[in-house]
Structure 1
Amino acid sequence: MDRRGFLRMIGATAAMTGAGSLLAACNANERAGGGQQAVVAAGGTLYVLSDTTSLHLDPAKSQGLAITSLGLLFRRLTVWKTSPDGPATVVPDLATDIGRAGADGRTWTYTLKDGLAYADGTPIVAADIKYGIERSFAPAFSGGLGYHKALLAGAESYRGPFEGGDLASIETPDDKTIVFHLNRSYGDWPWLASMPAFAPVPRGKGTDATYDTQPVASGPYQVTKYAKGVEVRLGRNPHWDPKTDVARTGLAEEIVFQLGQDASVISQRLIADSGNDAYAFGSAFVAPAQLAQLQGNPAVKPRVVTSKSGALAYLALNTRRGPLANPRVRQAFQYAVDKQAYQIATAGSVDLAGPVATTLITEGIAGREVFDLYPAPPTGDVAKAKELLAAGGYPNGLDNLDFPVSTSNNMADKAQAIQAALARAGIRATLRPLDEDAWEAVVTGNDGSYDLTLGSWQPDFPSANANIQPLFGSSEIGNGGYNLSRYSVPEVDALISQAQGTLDQAAAGKLWAQADRRILQDSPVVPLIYTRNSFLHGSKVGDFTIGEFPAYPNYLQIGLAK
């Protein structure tokens, strides 16, 4: 599995600043003050205000979600349907269904719909999807989501179509059929088929870096202008057929990404709601300080849309370090932490941060079970923590725990809140501030010389697989992996493998829920909160919704008032 960047944002928000948060009286189901969003119609220009200086459009290099910016340009074999009232579902996009598995779950077959074409009118064929996936293996185009790279048979040393020729485990017996041969059974393959690398690329295109700014479009829009650091303009793809597309409305005539905007200025512009900004939304989170102000502004508050929950914030305990190798000692941390203090350090108030977390699988994921193995007040239970430390052989607490922390994204304040809470129970930790790159090198490297650290995780696709495997699979320890607790338990690895290989999604969900409980029994991490995200839009923007998963607006559905 791919390494995930620390607090990495998704899609067009990839390098954006801001804090996950919410308006207490406005959530995804109460958007726009109870339905006051604009009534949308076809036409108009939609503006996306971004504080990034570039927008990477090569699907082989993208880590974007299926519902954000690249989904406007590219279709894939499958796509997501999101809803504020239920989990995201995978549905057919270019394909006629979400995939047909062989009896052993190692073979997945797709048939393309009729009448599919690129923006220039060229038909989309199965070989284009094969070529697009093969491009994602080329070192020159690395950086995109790579779940498929570990699953396609014989791909271990494959280096893409320019050096390695054809990848035999992807077959295209005719123009409308594509067959994938995996090295093991994998029930979540339909989700992977929605990832950027599964977008079609005409064979022979995308041989150099210019494809990142001028790709061949298969979605409702194509690039008409790319001015780095200034703007990216998308115009209509005249050959996109809405009758074949269940996920995209393609309502706006044009979409303009305005790049390099200051995050605070974006909010100020959207609050003012004048001129073109009435037809705009911000792709960065609204900062907590601004949210507090907006709560008292009845003209603006209806235009803030907030997720129910998002990334899991957690405290990782290095299970290979000294006293932390003892599960009883690690369980003491579940009671020693003050989750309420963490909420306040995150967003200034409990309401603005997101709810207290007790599970590893996040909200909006099918099969998630709600439980709490370590019930305690939000401020913790210091007496219980001391009791468990004594039972683990440390009646006088713990000294000199090394606590590396990134200096970005307000993590120092959050770490200080955790440090102070632990000290109440006699757990004394020393903060080690590091810039983000240095922090990541320490906690994802092979050395493992640290005791505690803070992490945050947003799954890449709506399956508990993406919650559990990257953070707790033994294969994700070191080498850039995100198993920050260095947790390795054969029983859990076997559960992960069993769940991944289970084709029945309901049955797989039960296995993932079982893994969630089993892991937390060992207490390799302390779940802290499910971080919420809030976004602001102009008064002429409608159908601006955030589903149960992910905690981002669905770009593919947004429209404008006449």
Structure 2
Amino acid sequence: MTRNTTRRRSVGAVSAAAALALVLTACGANDKDDSATGSPAAAQQGGTLHILTSAPSINWDPATSQNLAITTLGLVERRLTAWQTNSDGSTEVVPDLATDTGTASDDGKTWTYTLKDGVAFEDGTPITSQDVKYSVERSFAPELTGGLSYHKSLLTGGDDYAGPYDGKTLDSIETPDDKTIVFHLDSAYGDWPWIVSMPAFGAVPEDKDDVSTYTTTPVATGPYKVADTQEGTSVTLERNDAWDQSTDEARTAGPDSVVFELGQDESVVAQRLIADAGDDQNAFGATFVPAAQLAQVQNDANAKERLVTSGPGALAYLAINTEAEGLDDVKVREALQYAVDKQAFQVASGGAIAGDLATMLITPGIPGREEYDLYPAEPSGDPDKAKDLLADAGWKDRPLRLVVPDDAPTRAKAEAIEQGLKRAGLTVKIVTQPAEVWTQTVTQGDGSKYDLTLSSWQPDFPSANGNIQPLFASSQIGDGGYNLSRYSNADVDALIEQATQETDTDAAAALWAQADRAIGLDAPVVPLIYTKNSFLHGSKVQNFEIPDFPAYPNYLKVSLAP
């Protein structure tokens, strides 16, 4: 997300909020049918949908949430724009609270929106442009941190603004009347219509804003409102009578109610959905199906029909600390490209169903992607080529510290990397850390505590901007940024800035492709796989599909059979 200079991603916002091009794969994917075209009339009305999640709680505060537009928060809270997922797998930005996706002026530095008639809060009070402005302003408050924050460094004056709680407003957001809101940016930003689909660009009534309680009791603008919260156990949503379907093209609001079952073990969720009994027939898992249960599902014809697997999506990669001793030599980094056994990493991740082998940075389905392979080798790598490059570089072997989170699946992946590098004569020391400590190690400080690390990345919106800028702009090194390779190239920074400011979609895509290749030549990361996500649902769940982006089901369109 952004913070400081050029678009900073905030700490903790790893690619699980995460990055994807996905057509439903043949392996257990549901066939698309005419009932999933996105028409509000297509969704069966009625029933109680159960969503089984490992999350211990749900944060409904738009200022502090990183929730994707098609998942949880979108059931309760609308934004200026929304994501429409279509039956052909595509995802497009569409109007939500606003009448269109924005009108640009001043060479792309000013964006104007008009609110629709008939949009209201759950008590029937009409939503005004001032409510949207206030929602965006409160996201700057130091009391409210952790949310998607691209806009904070884009809006003029945003770097110095600290929210509305001291009575100050952000002058770069104008509300000339109750229906109109105008945003003034420091520079042109062609992806702004996607930015205003993020949580902060909803509507929060100032007189209902209680920082201490808004995370659990938001004021609804979507088809559902929060009716009951049992801490650590469940959250129940019921219909919001003030929501008008005719104003909303992104949501179908099929179920009468939605129950989130919290704190669920992923393996137990999978077993429940495989069994498909009772309320679980009306449920789906919000967590990925673990590798062990994936193997079980493949041998269960009934469950296999209810398994939905995305196409290749988020980029899993090995980050090479380009500031570390010896790793500042591009030849050594090129050697790592050949030494890594991507096939072993794929197997450790769960096999072919877990992802396709990767060669580049922009993920499938993102405009600007041009396939290439700068380091062609067998899937298992080319250790002899790696040895030659290391010899040319005069590499003096030393233990490379591969620092990773301490969960078992990541440990297995790290061991796959270790054995691949060992074939090329490289010594690797795997260092595991609690997830919170790992995040601090790789995103804070001077980078002296690691040589290599594993991560994955899903863009927050379907633009190569989301692939490239957070991971490779020099402004994202340390201080919470996710440039884990600590990569800095002034020419690449200039390309990123140029592509970011380009308002012509095709021209921007070409610039992002140029940046992708330029980064690849510097070899700061080893692309490993484009991950696939597998989800199970009950037998009465309908319209459960995964679009080309993101690699998650669209909660806003799920319905239930009678």
Determine if contact 2:52/2:260 at 8 Å carries over to the other structure.
yes
Query: Corresponding residue for 2:465?
Result: 465
Q: Are 1:330 and 1:524, in contact at CA under 8 Å, matched by a contact in 2?
A: yes
Residues 307-316 or 1-10, more deviating: 1-10
1:88 and 1:364 in contact (8 A); partners too: no
User: Counterpart of 2:223?
Assistant: 220
Letter in structure 2 aligned against 1:405? V
1:132 to 126, 130, 135: 135
CA distance in 2, matches of 1:24, 1:77: 32
In structure 2, give the amino acid aligned to 1:503.
Answer: T
User: Does structure 1 retain, via aligned residues, the 8 Å contact 2:123–2:242?
Assistant: yes
* 1:186 corresponding residue in structure 2: 189
Is contact 1:158-1:167 (8 Å) kept?
A: yes
Between the two proteins, the alignment pairs up a number of residues equal to 544
In structure 2, how many angstroms separate the alpha carbons of the residues matched to 1:491 and 1:22?
A: 35
Q: Which residue of the partner structure matches residue 380 of structure 1?
A: 381
| 2:441 is aligned with 1:442 | yes
CA contact 2:135–2:202 (8 Å) conserved in 1 = yes
* Conserved? CA contact 2:400–2:428, under 8 Å: yes
Could you say which residue in structure 1 is the equivalent of 2:299?
Answer: 296
SS, match of residue 345 in structure 2: helix
Conserved? CA contact 1:406–1:436, under 8 Å: yes
1 CA distance for matches of 2:337 and 2:419?
14
User: In the alignment, which residue of structure 2 is the partner of 1:15?
Assistant: none
Following the alignment from structure 1 to structure 2, what is the Cα–Cα distance between the partners of residues 545 and 424? 42
Q: Are the structure 2 counterparts of residues 408 and 23 from structure 1 closer, same or farther at C-alpha, using a change threshold of 3 Å? A: farther
1:10 alignment partner, one of 17, 29, 34: 17
Query: 1: CA distance between counterparts of 2:545 and 2:314?
Result: 18
> Aligned equivalents of 1:90 and 1:24: distance in 2?
24
SS, match of residue 50 in structure 2: strand
Instruction: Report if the CA contact (8 A) 2:30-2:307 is conserved.
Output: no
Greater displacement, 169-178 / 43-52: 43-52
Amino acid at match of 1:546: I
Aligned counterparts of 1:238 and 1:277: Cα–Cα separation in 2: 27
Counterpart-to-counterpart distance in 2, 1:185 and 1:23:
35
> Who is 2:528 aligned against?
528
Structure 1 CA distance for aligned equivalents of residues 415 and 473 of structure 2: 29
| C-alpha distance in 2 between matches for 1:393 and 1:92 | 57
Structure 1 residue 411, shift from structure 2 partner: 1.5
Shift of 1:270: 1.3
Residues 23 and 125 of structure 1, relative CA distance in 2, 3 Å threshold: closer
Shift of 1:352: 2.7
| Structure-to-structure mapping, 1:419-498, within 5 angstroms | 419-449=418-448, 450-498=450-498
1:555 and 2:529 correspond: no
Contact 1:29-1:84 within 8 A present in 2 as well: no
Equivalents in 1 of 2:365, 2:11: separation in Å?
Answer: 20
- Matches of residues 6-155 of structure 1 in structure 2 within 5 Å? 9-10=16-17, 25-26=26-27, 28=29, 30=31, 40-83=43-86, 85-155=88-158
Larger mean Cα displacement after TM superposition, 432-441 or 290-299: 432-441
Deviations 1:233-276 (A, max 9, x none): 11111121111111100111111111122222212221221221
- Give 1:510 shift: 1.1
Report the Cα offset of residue 28 of structure 1.
4.6
CA RMSD of aligned residues (A): 2.0
The whole-number CA distance in structure 1 between the counterparts of 2:61 and 2:534 is: 28
Distance 1:340 1:392, change over 3 A: same
Query: What CA distance in whole angstroms lies between the structure 1 residues aligned with 2:463 and 2:92?
Result: 10
* Partner AA of 1:486 in structure 2: R
Q: 1:4 to 1:528 in 2, by over 3 A?
A: farther
Instruction: Give the counterpart of 2:317 among 287, 296, 314.
Output: 314
Unaligned runs of 5+ in 2: 3-8, 37-41
How big is the shift at 1:554? 0.3
- Matched letter for residue 27 of structure 2: C
Q: Structure 1 residues 66 and 409, CA, compared in 2 at 3 Å: closer, same or farther? A: farther
Alpha-carbon distance between aligned partners in 2 of 1:28 and 1:271, rounded to the nearest angstrom: 15
Aligned-partner residue type, residue 492 of structure 1 = V
User: Contact 1:158–1:164 at 8 Å: present in 2 too?
Assistant: no
Aligned to 2:286: 283
TM-score, scaled relative to structure 1: 0.93
* Deviation readout 1:54-91 (Å, 9 max, x if unpaired): 11111111100000000000111111122464442111
The alignment status of 1:274 with 2:281, answered yes or no, reads no
Hey, what's the Cα distance between the residues in 2 that align with 1:78 and 1:525? Answer: 34
The CA distance in 1 between the partners of 2:559 and 2:309, in whole Å, is 18
Q: Supply the AA of the counterpart residue of 1:419.
A: E
Identical columns (%): 57
Q: What is aligned with 1:363?
A: 364
CA contact (8 A) 1:22 1:532 kept: no
Structure 1 pair 134–22 and aligned structure 2 pair: CA distance change class (3 A): closer
Q: Is the 8 A contact 2:11 2:146 kept in 1?
A: no
| Cα distance in 1, alignment partners of residues 425 and 14 from structure 2 | 29
Cα 1:137–1:113 shift into 2, 3 Å: same
- AA aligned opposite 1:443: V
Determine whether 1:408 maps to 2:426.
no
Report the Cα offset of residue 3 of structure 1. 2.8
What amino acid is aligned across from residue 444 of structure 1 in structure 2?
Answer: T
- Calculate the TM-score normalised by the size of structure 2: 0.93
Cα separation, partners in 2 of 1:324 and 1:535, compared to 1, 3 Å: same
2:250 maps to 1:247:
yes
Structure-2 change in CA distance of 1:499 and 1:440 (3 Å): same
Which AA in structure 1 matches 2:552?
Y
SS at match of 1:141: coil
CA deviation map 1:97-139 (0-9, x unaligned): 1111113211111111111111111001111000001111112
Once residues 495 and 178 of structure 2 are traced to their aligned partners in structure 1, the CA distance between those partners, rounded to angstroms, is 38
2:234 to 231, 235, 239: 231
Residue 140 (structure 1) shift: 1.7
Shift of 1:9: 3.0
Q: Distance in 1 between matches of 2:142 and 2:11?
A: 18
Q: Give yes or no for contact 2:502–2:508 (8 Å, CA) kept in 1.
A: yes
In the alignment, is the contact (CA less than 8 A) between 2:79 and 2:196 conserved in 1?
A: yes
| TM-superposed deviation, 1:40 | 5.0
CA distance in 1, matches of 2:282, 2:354: 28
Q: Tell whether the 8 Å contact from 1:41 to 1:559 is kept in structure 2 after alignment.
A: yes
What corresponds to 2:504 in structure 1?
A: 504
1:260 matches 2:263: yes
Range with bigger deviation, 229-238 or 171-180:
229-238
| 8 Å CA contact retained: 1:31, 1:305 | no
Whether the 8 Å CA contact 1:23–1:534 is kept in 2: the answer is no
User: Is 118-127 or 44-53 further displaced after alignment?
Assistant: 44-53
The code of the aligned residue for 1:447 comes to: D
- Identify which range, 410-419 or 545-554, moves more after superposition: 410-419
Contact 2:32–2:87 (Cα < 8 Å) also in 1 = no
SS in structure 2 opposite 1:521?
helix
1:157-207 deviation line (CA, Å, top 9, x unaligned)? 211111251111100000111000111111111111000000101122223
Unaligned stretches of 5+ residues in structure 1? 12-20
Q: Whole-Å Cα distance in 2 between the matches of residues 455 and 265 of structure 1? A: 26
Give 1:383's aligned amino acid.
Answer: D
2:66, 2:187 → 1: CA distance?
A: 24
CA deviation after TM superposition for structure 1 residue 369, in Å: 1.6
Cα 1:84–1:445 change in 2 (3 A) is farther
